[in-house]
Amino acid sequence: EVQLVQSGAEVKKPGESLKISCKGSGYSFTSYWIGWVRQMPGKGLEWMGIIYPGDSDTRYSPSFQGQVTISADKSISTAYLQWSSLKASDTAMYYCVRQPPVGAIQYWGQGTLVTVSS
């Protein structure tokens, strides 16, 4: 069974750094792209970017380029989303997903809620 298990909720202050994780299991982690999707409170879905863990090829939505960093550690089947300096506007639910670079999203993680507040 394909599973994407994300790290737990985080509460941070503006300016702090953060790295959240997504561990894949039940499939060959290095053979499928992993993406990240943002959902701000009460809002819709925004696609942020993807990484191919096999070779770390990474692509970002223009809206998120330079704002976040996507990485992966294939030795532990885990992808990451990180911020160097959080803003209050980063408050959102973040989902990791397994998807082809051109394709629908069949598998979703359970989501990680990030709250940024002073």
Partner 1 sequence: EIVMTQSPATLSVSPGERATLSCRASQSVSSNLAWYQQKPGQAPRLLIYGASTRATGIPARFSGSGSGTEFTLTISSLQSEDFAVYYCQQYNNWPDFGPGTKVDIK
Binding site for partner 1 (CB under 8 A): 35, 44-47, 61-62, 95, 99, 102-106, 108-111
- Residue 13 vs 59, nearer CB to partner 1: 59
Residue among 27, 25, 26, 77 nearest 51 (CA): 77
CA distances from 116 to 41, 86, 87 (A): 12, 7, 6
Q: How far is the CB of 75 from partner 1 (least distance, A)?
A: 26
- Residue 17 vs 65, nearer CB to partner 1: 65
Copy the structure tokens of residue 27. Answer: 């499939």
Report the greatest alpha carbon distance in the chain: 41
Q: How far is the CB of 118 from partner 1 (least distance, A)?
A: 26
- Residue 11 vs 45, nearer CB to partner 1: 45
Copy the structure tokens of residue 113. Answer: 């809620």
Residue among 75, 98, 111, 91 nearest 12 (CA): 91
Q: How far is the CB of 111 from partner 1 (least distance, A)?
A: 6
- Residue 54 vs 111, nearer CB to partner 1: 111
